[in-house]
Amino acid sequence: GRKIRKFFKRWSDMRLKVNVNYIQTSKSGINIYEYNYIWGSKKYRGVMAQELLDSHPSAIGKRLGYYTVDYDQLDVNFERVDG
């Protein structure tokens, strides 16, 4: 995958994702998934914000009513998956 630069919080709300597949767990215990956003066909790899509300609250934000994640605070990269 291609690492995407992390200058702002990414939408990571599970309500915005479809075709979600668990991939692995990070060293710190965060679940990593591959998915599509509801508005497109490109595949991404990242986390589900709702799973981090208790364990990483400082990494969670909200934009337009949906959860976002600051990946700089996690041991997970937000990536576009080729193929």
45-80 confidence digits (pLDDT tens):
999 999 999 999 999 999 999 999 999 999 999 999
Residue at token pair 């990269």: 77
C-beta neighbour count of 35 within 10 angstroms: 20
Partnered with residue 35 across adjacent β-strands are 44
Q: Quick one: 59 exposed, middle or buried, by C-beta within 10 A (0-12, 13-18, 19+)?
A: buried
Q: How many whole angstroms separate alpha carbon 14 and alpha carbon 51?
A: 9
Q: What is the pTM of this model?
A: 0.87
Pairing of strands 10-11, 60-63: unpaired
Q: How does pLDDT run across 8-45, given as a tens digit for each residue? A: 578 899 999 999 999 999 999 999 999 999 999 999 99
> Can you say whether the dihedral through the CA atoms of 18, 38, 79, 12 is positive or negative?
negative
Q: How many helices (H) and strands (E) does the chain have?
A: 0, 8
